[in-house]
Structure 1
Amino acid sequence: MNGHHRLRIAVYDRYWSTGGGGEKYAGGVAEVLNEDHDVTLIGHVPIDTGWLGERLNLDLDGVATLIVDECDSLESVTADFDVLINLSYRSHARNGAARGIYIVHFPDRPGADLRPWQRFLRSKLLRLSRTDRRMIKVESGFHEADTIRWQEVRWTNGDGVLDVDVPTGAEKHLQLRFGRFIPGGIDRTISVEVDGVVMATDVLRCARNRFEVVEPLLISVPVVGRIGRNRVVIRSESGSPAGILGNGDNRILGVPLVSASFSRGPVGAAVSRASLLTAVPAGTDWLQSYDLVIANSEFTRTWIQRWWGINSVVLEPPVALRVPGPKSPMILSVGRFFAPGRGHAKKQLELVRAFRALGAVADGWELHLAGGCSPEDEPYLDEVKSEANGLAVVFHVNAPGSELDGLYRRASIYWHATGLGEDLDHDPVRAEHFGITTVEAMSAGAVPVVINAGGQPEIVRSGVDGYLFDTPEDLVRFTSSVISDPVLRSAMGESSIERAKRFGMANFGARLKALVDDAGAAGPAGH
């Protein structure tokens, strides 16, 4: 670093406890910058830096932590820091530090899937609901908006507060509608207070069929205008989805508010069933609070420009390079087990089928599938295991870092198929946005045979370090070539080791420090 200032740097990520690829990047940022600055990890549940460092193969000794309520404004939380680095996936939180850096794993485009007629209907409903938006404001106790089916919802944390403006002396009925989806299907009692007085109570029951899904619970309360604005509090039980579903979502969730309006009749009915169409399209104004936007790959940079219309610089995630070891007749793939349709699925089912298609070529070889699996994804894992019956397929579910080290050292070939069979121009989020595990495997000398999509082509030079495939047939053909030719396999393995060094921590650290030096050039806040 330039040595002029020791900065107070905040590194924010909502998902520290998942220990995934995004957290690998965030933790790498913290490790590098903690050499010259005072780094604090900001999150919403206790952060065990020892566990996180072991899981991600990082040194986080001396890194501080700050735990804040999910509903607290990140802008206010970071006001005393010199630099905020926000790496939380799809966060729209504003920066409050003297300087801000926003690192994008992949951009989001709210409402992108709306069809032309839906966009037309949205424009009409937006005009009709303009008065409601002016009269009803969120004060506190609400999370950022989520989209569930046709409904944009704001989860409370158990105590959501609305600031309501009704003309003095007038009485209006506030229509509160709540979605019928609660983690674990547990019914919750809701009470609504107006200016400190409980005006209504009801029980929110989860949808029992597909018709109830789009029929929110309606609670109507009278609000009598007074001098100043009215305060409406929505109270309920609350809990963490992670504790119920094991999905890594550690937010404290109360109940999902679909809409709050004074509209009745057809407009009210439309709002209750399709609140997404009355949601103001999310913009990118919050990005103006950041001084620099960083993309994790050229693939991501392209979509940031396409969807957000802004420039960004590319800084690939840091990769802890592995130590090569004696190779075994083994193909490895690393990635969480979760079903297609849930983000960038790792396609383990398709990999097992490809291994079967190798036939006699793969005699004596094994396919090893390693990755985490939450309880809600166990049915998919069971499906993959069933497909693997009779094959030399070995599963390493929720394997510790030490076990992964051994797998990387032994693997001769590495497979990655995220995005296979998907329309990635329509839904690019289903591709791997960079591909840390591919680099890790290459650094240990495995030959990558990976999909020609997302960030993978930026890592692998096809025909030099390994191969890029477009179809399952290509995957089988290229893998057969590598298995059948030990000389080719050895040469590509050596090339992979050299190629991986480009993405190692040393190169990443030098580039990151230069970017932070520029962002923090004004010196510590208040100096």
Structure 2
Amino acid sequence: MKIFLFNKYLPTSGGGEKHAGGIAEVLSKKHDVTILYSGEANVTLISSKLNLDLSRVKFVSFSEERNIYSQVMEFIQSNRPDIFINATYFSTFVAPNAVNISLVFFPKFNLTRKPSTYDTLVHKVGEEFFNRYDSTVRFFEGFYNEEINGNKVGRWSTANSTLLITKPFNKLKIFFKPLEGRIVRDVVKSIKIHGNKLNFSFYKDIIEIESPVKHSCGIHLKFDTFKPSDSFKNNFDSRNLGLFIRLVYIDTHDVFTKWVIKAWNSKVLGKYLTRIYVKWTVIKEYNWNRGFLEANLNISNSDYTSSWIKRIYGEKGIKVEKLYPPVDVEHFFNSSEKKNVILAVGRFFVGGHNKKQQEIIKAFKNAYASHPDFRDYKLVICGGTHPEDHHQDYLKLCKLSAQGYPIEICTDIAFSDLKAKYATAKFFWHAAGMYENEDLAPDRFEHFGITTVEAMAAGCVPIVIGVAGQKEIVSHRQNGMLWRNEQELISHTVELIKNEDLREQLSVNAIAASKQYSKMNFNHRVEEIFKEYLK
């Protein structure tokens, strides 16, 4: 069978790519498997880094200059796979005329609960106001997701963006939000239809185009861009932004839609219509996300992820199978000469499910100052890095915080070196999700925790935050310790420092528990899940 696996972020070689690549490795033994991804990647290096045999797998790379989903759709329509596996984080792309399977690292969501009756009512009102506008004007390519900027709703463009207008028109107006210090005449480089440049004029916050168009068309906009992180102090937004577009008006809109646009731009009614619009788009996206899950067999990476799929979208009509990521537990070893080392492993980055290295450093410093037992210990933090300035600034902050204490920060080290550190460390700390609210931001927690399993396989006793995916891996006082706050993290560590017999027993149990996440078990589970789709 012909199988396409779509993983946009393959070049990052993270845990999600290991999970997706593991599926590709198993299926490629008997089937024609192609991995689709964005950008440039050294496939041989990635295979080695992830410890996967992808020699039978084909790879297709798509340009980062165009919308990735348009390119994938074109490729699918030309090559027609039997099975399409979407393994891209937070993607809801569905392939036509194929069996659709989704690898869900965490469900895409904009609500953490089912919509209320009030939500549904406002959504219906919003449909009456905005459906006709929404079906006529589409932000097609090169736009970021909708957001609120000040009190205005809109989308930031990239350097090259395309609006799709589905009706003929003679006059078109683009309403935008001016940004201090940026002159719009310098920002807009060109506007084209069918490759032909159009003349346009500016008036306050409007770009106006007069050009008779007899059919639906794409309006191609080219902008000069900027990075807020480079332009504004304490701004971590590293996106390349062009113009913040709020609304698009065409003279052939029906009378009601023209009134809606006029009211939306007014000071009095504008704020009320914005509230309705926001609620309408939220519920519309919720319904779309649920429809995506209903259209797929959904493979989750943990019970934690499965529980949130059910909590947000309900169980009716949604099929979920659990498949833990593969961990090369047999490649780790437990040194007989353990050192007084506490190890933490995770990429250095800000936002999302940040690994909380700063909080780990703070906890160690507090323990070092208040508990003499910690004076003989060293904290070692290992992790990959990202080139963006705000991520590098976070790494610098961690290094600065560590000064004056027995804290070692190791970045981008070879996997062989990391395995050696696992083998000789006594304890493993993990804090992703610390000080976060699980009910409001469940995606900021560890959905599974591959590094925790790696530590356990090396006999490094896990002392990890007792929430989300970590609770599935670690059983408190059986193969590790779970904590909910800094005080418990420190007290559990002190207890094990003082009780060597307990530490050794937990170490032995941790090694045994890690084996359930072996690659062999993963391979068997893949075959079991896919069996009915590969007949």
With normalisation by structure 2, the TM-score equals: 0.80
Distance 2:431 2:99 in 1: 38
Q: How does 1:351-500 map to 2 (within 5 A)?
A: 351-358=360-367, 359-374=371-386, 375-500=389-514
* Farther off after superposition, 471-480 or 231-240: 231-240
Contact 1:44 1:251 in 2 (8 A): no
Looking at structure 2, the residues matched to 255 and 278 of structure 1 have their Cα atoms a distance apart, in angstroms, of: 24
Q: Which amino acid aligns with 1:233?
A: H
Using the alignment, how far apart are the partners of 1:423 and 1:165 within structure 2? 45
Cα distance in structure 2, aligned partners of 1:16 and 1:291: 22
Which residue does 1:165 correspond to in 2? Answer: 167
CA contact (8 A) 1:238 1:252 kept: yes
Give 1:409 shift: 1.8
- Which residue of the other structure, out of 180, 185, 210, is the alignment partner of 1:222? 210
Is 1:318–2:326 an aligned residue pair? yes
Q: 1:152 to 1:514 in 2, by over 3 A?
A: farther
CA displacement, residues 302-358 of structure 1 (integer Å, 9 cap, x when unaligned): 11012122341211111122421422211111112233xx11121111111221233
Superposed counterparts of 1:129-208, under 5 Å: 129-137=130-138, 141-142=141-142, 145=145, 147=147, 151=153, 153=155, 155=157, 158-166=160-168, 171-177=170-176, 188-194=187-193, 196-200=196-200
Distance, in Å, in 2 between the alignment partners of 1:23 and 1:239 is: 31
- Counterpart CA distance in 2 for 1:407 and 1:455 is 23
Structure-2 residue corresponding to 1:87: 87
Are the structure 2 counterparts of residues 179 and 311 from structure 1 closer, same or farther at C-alpha, using a change threshold of 3 Å?
Answer: farther
Give the deviation of 1:410 after TM superposition: 1.8
Matched residues in 1 for 2:28 and 2:217: separation?
47
2:525 to 490, 511, 514: 511
Change (3 A) 1:225 1:386: closer
Which deviates the most, 172-181 or 50-59?
172-181
Superimposed CA distance per residue, residues 346-377 of structure 1 (whole angstroms, 9 cap, x where no aligned partner)? 11111112212333112221111111232322
Note if contact 2:198-2:211 (Cα within 8 Å) is conserved in structure 1: no
Residue 106 of structure 2 corresponds to: 106
Cα offsets for 1:371-414 (capped at 9, x unmatched): 12323222222222232222111001222323222222222111
Measure, in 2, the Cα distance between the counterparts of 1:251 and 1:30: 32
Which of these residues, 21, 33, 38, is aligned with residue 39 of structure 1? 33
Aligned residue number for residue 343 of structure 1: 352
What is the alpha-carbon root mean square deviation over aligned residues? 3.7
Match of 1:232 in 2: 219
What is the distance in 1 between the residues matched to 2:440 and 2:504?
A: 38
User: Quick one: distance in 2 between partners of 1:179 and 1:292?
Assistant: 45
1:423 CA drift (Å): 1.3
Q: Distance in 1 between matches of 2:29 and 2:228?
A: 36
Q: Partner letter of residue 353 of structure 1?
A: K
Residue aligned with 2:307, SS? helix
Indicate conservation of the 8 Å contact 1:94/1:286, yes or no.
no
Give aligned-pair identity as a percent. Answer: 27
Letter in 2 for 1:329: N
Cα distance in 2 for partners of 1:78, 1:144 equals 24
Residue correspondences, number = 488
Match of 2:183 in 1: none
Contact 1:447 1:492 in 2 (8 A): yes
- Give 1:260's match in structure 2, choosing from 244, 248, 255: 248
Change (3 A) 1:102 1:257: farther
Task: Give the match for residue 12 of structure 1.
Answer: 6
| Number of the residue aligned with 1:297 | 302
Identify, as 1 or 2, the structure richer in helix.
2
- Alpha-carbon shift at residue 442 of structure 1 (Å): 0.6
Aligned to 1:3: none
1-structure distance, mates of 2:470, 2:10: 25
Q: Residue deviations 1:257-294, cap 9 Å, x none?
A: 54434555441364998875663621236526844111
Alignment partner of 1:284: what SS? helix
Deviations 1:65-119 (A, max 9, x none): 1123414154453352222211111101112363221011111223669999999
- One-letter code aligned to 2:332: V
Deviation at residue 435 of structure 1 after TM alignment: 0.6
Contact 2:156–2:242 (CA<8 Å) still a contact in 1?
no
- The answer to whether the 8 Å contact 2:304/2:447 transfers is yes
C-alpha distance in structure 1 between counterparts of 2:364 and 2:206, whole Å: 53
CA distance in 1, matches of 2:486, 2:2: 49
Question: After superposition, what is the alpha-carbon deviation per residue over 1:441-493, rounded to whole angstroms, capped at 9, x for unaligned?
Answer: 11111100011111111101111100111111110111111222222211111
1:24 aligns with 2:18: yes
For 1:496, the aligned partner's letter is: A
Partners of 2:143 and 2:161 within 8 A in 1: no
* Offset, 1:22: 1.4
Give 1:439 shift: 0.5
User: Partner of 1:304: helix, strand, or coil?
Assistant: helix
2:351 is aligned with 1:333: no
Measure, in 1, the Cα distance between the counterparts of 2:95 and 2:244. 26
Q: 1:255 to 1:15 in 2, by over 3 A?
A: farther
For residues 327 and 44 of structure 2, the distance between their equivalents in structure 1, rounded to whole angstroms, comes to: 19
Q: Distance in 2 between matches of 1:404 and 1:38?
A: 34
TM norm structure 1 = 0.81
Could you tell me which residue of structure 2 aligns to residue 78 of structure 1? 76
Tell me if the contact between 2:20 and 2:103 (Cα under 8 Å) persists in the aligned partners. Answer: no
Kept after mapping to 1: 8 A contact 2:69/2:93: no
Match of 1:207 in 2: none
Cα distance in 2 between the residues matched to 1:65 and 1:434: 27
SS at match of 1:307: helix
User: Kindly tell me: are residues 510 and 143 of structure 1, through their superposed partners in 2, closer, same or farther at Cα, counting changes over 3 Å?
Assistant: farther
Unmatched segments (≥5 aa) in structure 1: 1-6, 182-186, 204-215, 522-527
In structure 1, how many angstroms separate the alpha carbons of the residues matched to 2:168 and 2:422? Answer: 64
Q: Quick one: distance in 1 between partners of 2:469 and 2:107?
A: 14
Partner Cα separation in structure 2 for residue 316 and residue 240 of structure 1: 38
